[in-house]
Chain A
Amino acid sequence: MESRRNPRAVVDPKVRQVGFFTSSQPDSTHQPDPIASESHPVASSISPSGNSLSPVMIPPPRHNSSDTFPLRAAAAAASAVSPSSFSYSTRRDFPDGSMTASPGRVSRASFSKPSSSLPGVGMDSMAAAKSSSVPASGLTTVSVVNMPPGLSEKESDQKKNSKPLKEKTTKAERRALQEAQRAAKAAAKAEGGKAPLVSSGSVASTNVKAAKPAKPSSQKNDVAVAAPGPSEKKGGQTEKDRKKDAPHPRMQYDDESRVVKAKRRAVVKQTEAKNRVELFRHLPQYEHGTQLPDLETKFFQLDPMHPAVYKVGLQYLSGDISGGNARCIAMLQAFQEVVKDYSTPSEKTLNRDMTAKISSYVSFLIECRPLSVSMGNAIRFVKNRIAKLPITLSESEAKAALQSDIERFINEKIIMADTVIVKHAVTKIRDGDVLLTYGSPTAVEMVLLHAHELKKKFRVLVVDSRPKLEGQLLLRRLIKRGINCTYTHINAVSYIMHEVTKVFLGASSVLSNGTVYSRVGTACVAMVASAFRVPVLVCCEAYKFHERVQLDSICSNELGDPNAISKVHGREDINYLDGLTNNANLQFLNLMYDATPSDYISMIITDYGMVPPTSVPVIVREYQKEHSLV
């Protein structure tokens, strides 16, 4: 896998380096090109002209942050200590620091220079950092936050060094910096052969007042030093900062500081899984089954959280509600409750406050389980409606309008859409058909039941897969109605495909380039069907369409419980993998979704009719037009 990324400077095969880092953009998770960085000596980075950036770097905004000075010093010290290591944690110490500057451009060699020069350098940037005002900290937090694990701390230092502004530092501060550096050096020497990550990690933690107990970082390969940011920063948090605390629904989880910040505000205390596949580091992976009892006890103590939302969150967490439509409907109904119980606090407008509340509930739901695309679209709709509420409405009128809007959304876009889809799809079922379906898609189930009611003669082949075995639920429901069914595992799909006349699949979402994003295994079934020239029909409501484009199943996905793979329910004798969960050589990967390219899809059945996969952007366009008019 690593060969796909930057092949030039792989230090530690476990550490992933990707592309090129741009510091001042919140969503970037790339690292700087180490080679390019090595070509820039330290000196050039602190030229007073301020134009010291290499052409590829984005000029930093001019920030100063006074309270980051001692920490900055520590980082400088730490970085001096481990020149060739990538210490992510030291970077972490300065979340609010003025480190918006470019990533590491300094050669590693420069760090081995006598430390006396460093403090000078560091101090300049310290000083520069020092005078930055607190409000800037919000922005810098975000930019800093995007350093992926294993980033060289030299870069972080360089960020500071390339600060064009020079401030004067007091003698005391300089002394403190030197002390810290010496301490760091000594500590590093003591640790000696340990992984550089760990050393800098521990160094960082000695220097930083950890607000939260850090997880045992020495065990893990990925640096999960959970120092959530120096607590003295807390006072300096601004509005912007708080806003950014809410995790972006597609937050990149290999970004430590961001994760930790999110955790700080988290209601659900999820512990991160220890052993993770490198390629999927950007997705969240938690230990399953640990939070439910904890959350259940907290049910009556949740002041900020509405009980309906809490309940839905718990249901997501335990897996009671799964499937795009079910999750979306549950969430929307919870929001209806929220609106019903809502009362505008004084001196706040309903629009803003309600939106803020919804956002906080959404972040709670994300912590329980990452959002599906259907939920994302529904949330966008709700926020849109809230924003469009005329100010002149009284509170009760506004609430009633909102509730009816949500009700209408559920009815029109989900329930009636399903009826229309069923109506179109049954025209494609002929007598004598052998229909294959995978998993348990609600839309397809409705189609099959309706076709059976119309007395069409067909039989169904249900294909299922571990670990969820969702097909069994569908099977049960079909058999109860008397439909002739066959049940098999996905391993056998190429064996039985020659008998099949049509394949009906469901989708979690359909993307703009016609890619179908659906339960893992769907792509496999679609590919085999296409190889056998069997038409593949995807049943998906139009509200699940999304304008983003995804080329593979890696960049955006969801990781499930890894233990579900190692254990087979009901077969306690299959325990060969017991005790190997924490083995460094073995990682479990339990993906939830995959992306099926549009070439394998014959037709998409939506409430807009039967369309080819190439017409999805047209529907997205028409859909948005309709929304903006409404």
Chain B
Amino acid sequence: MWRRSASFILDRSSNSPPMADTTQNPDAISAYYQTRAAHHGVITSDWLAQAQAAVEQPDSSVSDLGAEKSFNVIDEFNGWRKQPDLAEAVAAIRAMAAVIRASEATTMMELEIELKKASDTLKSWDKTSISLTAGCDLFIRYVTRTSALEYEDFNSAKSRLLERAEKFGEISCKARKIIAMLSQDFIFDGCTILVHGLSRVVLEVLKTAAQNNKLFRVLCTEGRPDGTGVLLSNELSKLDIPVKLLLDSAVAYSMDEVDMVFVGADGIVESGGIINMMGTYQIALVAHSMNKPVYVAAESYKFARLYPLDQKDMAPALRPIEFGVKIPAKVEVERSARDYTPPQYLTLLFTDLGVLSPSVVSDELIQLYL
């Protein structure tokens, strides 16, 4: 609504066409962030163990072979993503694996087409989830590449794909371990780490550091509206890591005593920047101006072929925000759940491909997709 041009007053009158897009679905809540909120409720270590057990069970909806595959895919996906320890992309790939299993195709091309359709359905169902899109793209890419491998027998090719898809979940867990291992060099004794948001990867990093008997302390931001700070401090205190909770607005105040900032990422974009929970950009800006390094820990399947130019250049992902008190009807609320941090504010990316600088992301993407 607020334009750069002084003519925004005029624009208001002609505002109806552009506004139409956003008012299309004024209460469109990003499903991705809804799930994350749900996860946050359960992502404590007590529940995690139970969740792991749940992962082993094959999903019952596999047997539900209907003619409408697309329907199947989304249900499948939803089923998988409810599991808290499973990354979004992994859930997507598991869903695709289910599609393969249920497919009646007899040639590779046919299978590819089915998969493409399934992936498109998934992507359009939740446009805001970057890892979902990235995971689907990755899997399709993998399929098209391996189909070049001359498998005489279609069935063996199919089973290989299935096997790979199922292994992806393990790869995801392994990725977290690799990242944790790589980041150990950067955590030194006596350091103070600022953490924002509740990323399972960052949690893994800190856990491993604690297991290696490193002495450090963590400052975590409150993380409204998800309340990630409280959850994280809960987890860390169990590991006997000294934790301090900050208000989101107290970040600049405490930045002096911080040695490094650790964040996860919902998606890593082509420019090398990251898309993460709302507030990450702010923290990165403050850290950059005070010369503190900002480290991002994320798996490589989160690399996406997006290129936002500014904060508004992404699909909007809204989530409900409770203020605790009644808000008058005329007052607008900024409900976006995420922001984009440009690459110049990030120092390093810890991924399962290694420790990368932000400009390498495009290199990897070009090699992967071209």
Contact = CB atoms under 8 A, between A and B. Distances in A.
Q: Do A and B form a real pair?
A: yes
Nearest to B3: A432
B271 to A, nearest CB: 5
Interface of A is mostly: mixed
A537 B313 CA distance: 14
A168 B61 CA distance: 102
Interface in B325-370: 343, 359, 362-363, 366-367, 369-370
Given A431-B18, A457-B17, A603-B307, A612 B272 contact: yes
A614 interface: yes
A336 B362 CA distance: 37
Interface string A396-439: 00000000000000000000000000000000101110100000
Contact of A428 (B6, B7, B313, B363): B313
Nearest to A536: B309
B275 to A, nearest CB: 15
Contact of B366 (A430, A499, A500, A608): A608
Interface string A585-620: 000000000000000001100001111101100110
B4 interface: yes
Contacts of B310: 535
A108 interface: no
A296 B97 CA distance: 70
Contacts of B213: none
B366 A612 contact: no
A355 interface: no
A285 to B, nearest CB: 39
A500 B369 CA distance: 33
A489 interface: no
Nearest to A608: B370
Given A428-B309, A432-B11, A610-B307, A618 B362 contact: yes
B4 A498 contact: yes
B305 interface: yes
Contact of B362 (A432, A434, A457, A614): A614
B309 A618 contact: no
Given A428-B313, A622-B370, A611 B4 contact: no
Contact of B4 (A434, A457, A603, A608): A434
Contacts of B370: 608-609, 622
Interface in B5-29: 5-7, 11, 17-18, 21
Contact of B17 (A431, A537, A610): A431
Nearest to A457: B17
Interface residues of B, number: 25
A611 B271 CA distance: 7
A502 B3 CA distance: 13
A614 B271 CA distance: 9
B359 to A, nearest CB: 4
A501 interface: yes
Interface in B100-151: none
A615 B5 contact: no
A434 B11 CA distance: 12
Contacts of A535: 309-310
B270 interface: yes
Contacts of B4: 434, 498-501
Interface residues of A, number: 25
A432 B270 CA distance: 25
B305 A612 contact: no
A350 to B, nearest CB: 34
A182 to B, nearest CB: 68
B366 A611 contact: yes
Contact of A610 (B7, B18, B270, B363): B270
A430 B3 CA distance: 12
B274 to A, nearest CB: 14
B17 to A, nearest CB: 6
A582 B216 CA distance: 75
Contacts of A500: 4
A430 B310 CA distance: 12
A494 B17 CA distance: 30
A434 B5 contact: yes
A614 B365 CA distance: 13
The residue in B4, B17, B21, B370 that gathers the most chain A C-beta atoms within 10 A of its C-beta is B4
A435 to B, nearest CB: 12
A229 B359 CA distance: 53
A500 B11 CA distance: 14
B249 to A, nearest CB: 24
A233 B6 CA distance: 72
Interface of A: 428, 430-432, 434, 457, 498-502, 535, 537, 602-603, 608-612, 614-615, 618-619, 622
Cβ-closest 10 pairs across A and B? A614-B359, A615-B362, A535-B309, A431-B18, A499-B5, A610-B307, A612-B271, A618-B363, A432-B18, A611-B362
Interface of B: 3-7, 11, 17-18, 21, 270-272, 305, 307, 309-310, 313, 343, 359, 362-363, 366-367, 369-370
20 contacts: A431-B18, A432-B3, A432-B11, A434-B4, A498-B5, A499-B5, A499-B6, A499-B7, A501-B4, A535-B310, A603-B271, A608-B370, A609-B366, A611-B270, A612-B270, A614-B362, A615-B362, A615-B366, A618-B363, A618-B367
